[in-house]
Amino acid sequence: MKRASVREQVRYPAGVTAGLAAAVVLCLWGAVQSYSTEAAYQQANSDPYMVSMQFQRFAQVPEMVPRDAVMGYLSDAPSGVVDTAMFDSAQYVLAPRILERGAAHDWVLGNFTRPGDFHSVAQANGLRLERDFGNGAILFRREEHR
């Protein structure tokens, strides 16, 4: 048996080589198109629920509320996607503090979509307005903590 010392070179027909080259070019073109389309979409819709804005709105809350606190949560947002996004983004920003809907805690976060009489909201829930941070961000406290 004779061993081949020279490696044999395989040659494919021109049609196969051309088809493979076309497939590679189309894949690369598709990747570039996909990237540019996604980049344009993200530019136009970067933060539809303004999650990044919540860091600014609630920036002073962590200075006032203990890290291990369980806080109540009040909002005027109607149930649905916006309400869930507002609650979840507030929870994310204030972690490790825990938010629970309702006013049954010593500290209560108000996350409102429009101006209102927040003193009346406080009184109706047995709370006092601890601090109005503006832009609908309110910190309430249970009345007995004076």
Domain coordinates in residue numbering, the chain: 11-46, 51-142
Instruction: Output the pLDDT for position 31.
Output: 96
Tell me if residue 109 falls in helix, strand or coil.
strand
Distance separating alpha carbons of residues 54 and 61, to the nearest angstrom: 11
Instruction: Output the pLDDT for position 138.
Output: 97
Please give the C-alpha separations between residue 17 and each of 10, 26, 127, in angstroms, as whole numbers.
12, 14, 76
Chain centroid offset of residue 2 CA: 68
Identify the CA nearest to 84 among candidates 94, 95, 73. Answer: 73
| pLDDT tens series, the chain, 146 aa | 566 556 788 889 999 999 999 999 999 999 999 999 998 888 887 777 778 889 999 999 999 999 999 999 999 999 899 899 999 999 999 999 999 999 999 999 999 999 989 999 999 999 999 999 999 999 999 977 54
For the entire predicted model, the pTM comes to 0.68
Identify the CA nearest to 51 among candidates 100, 85, 98, 10. Answer: 85
Radius of gyration of the chain (CA): 29
Instruction: Output the pLDDT for position 136.
Output: 94
- The DSSP 8-state label assigned to residue 76 in this structure reads -
Q: How many C-beta atoms lie closer than 10 Å to residue 130's C-beta?
A: 18
Instruction: Output the pLDDT for position 70.
Output: 97
Instruction: Output the pLDDT for position 117.
Output: 94
- Write the burial class of residue 36 (CB in 10 Å: 0-12 exposed, 13-18 middle, 19+ buried): exposed
Distance separating alpha carbons of residues 47 and 130, to the nearest angstrom: 30
Task: Extract the runs of DSSP E, i.e. beta strands, from 11-88.
Answer: 70-75
